[in-house]
Structures are given as C-alpha cells and as structure tokens.
C-alpha cells in the first residue's frame, strides 16, 4: 500500500437532535465510497449543547488520486444528496492538506 501524502478534510454541522440520524446517513452514503478508493478514512463527531460537528478525513497517496475520485478539483465540495436536509449550512470548501508527519505509517 502507498503511503498517504495528502489528507482531505470535510466539516459539517447538524442540529444536535439530528446528529444520530446524520451519522447513520454518513455511514451508509458518505463513507463507503471513500473506503473503496482512499487509503484510509476517519469520521469524527463532536457533540455540543445544540449542534454536532462531523469531520471526515480521507487519506490519499497524492493529489492525482484524490482528483480522480472527486472527478476534478479536489477542493470542490461534493455534497451528498440529503446534506441540505441535515446540515445547518452547506460547507463551501474542503481542506486539502499535505501530510508532513505521519506516525501511523
């Protein structure tokens, strides 16, 4: 397996009372395509009093591999079909970060 050199980070916030449903939705619709193509994927959740933040981080060998998955510019957000129903606001961007230290490898 190739070593990851790029991390793509997406963030989204939902109302706290809808967090469990959105997490299930992400597990079914959002994470499986990433698991098939990225080197690894992580889903994080942080609950607050009135809202919950989800962070999905996928790891890629290079920008070209990530671009092949996204169908073009890896910085463009590709919303899931029901994101507008769940999210407080649709994220306008994702972060594409170069990995400079990787203690998991």
Q: Write down the pLDDT at residue 79.
A: 94
Q: What is the pTM of this model?
A: 0.92
Q: Write down the pLDDT at residue 72.
A: 84
Q: What is the CATH number of domain 6-98?
A: 3.30.70.100
Q: Which of 98, 102, 79 is nearest to 8 (CA)?
A: 98
What's the rounded mean pLDDT across residues 69-79?
A: 88
The more confidently predicted of residues 30 and 105 is: 30
**Torsions phi, psi for 67 (to 5 deg):** -65, -35
What's the rounded mean pLDDT across residues 8-14?
A: 97
Q: Write down the pLDDT at residue 1.
A: 56
For the segment 14-65, what is each residue's pLDDT rounded down to a tens digit? 999 999 999 999 999 999 999 999 999 999 999 999 999 999 999 999 999 9
Q: Which of 105, 6, 3, 1 is nearest to 63 (CA)?
A: 6
CA atoms of 81 and 17, how far apart (whole Å): 20
Instruction: Assess whether pLDDT exceeds 60 at residue 70.
Output: yes
């Amino acid at each position: 397996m190739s070593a990851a050199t790029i991390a793509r980070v997406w963030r989204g916030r939902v109302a706290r009372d809808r967090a469990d449903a959105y997490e299930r939705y992400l597990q079914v619709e959002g994470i499986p395509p990433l698991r098939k193509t990225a080197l690894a994927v992580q889903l994080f959740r942080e609950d607050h009093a009135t809202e919950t933040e989800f962070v999905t981080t996928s790891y890629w060998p290079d920008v070209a591999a990530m671009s092949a998955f996204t169908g073009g510019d890896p910085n463009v957000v590709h919303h899931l079909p029901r994101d507008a129903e769940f999210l407080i606001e649709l994220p306008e961007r994702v972060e594409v970060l170069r990995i400079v230290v990787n203690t998991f490898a």
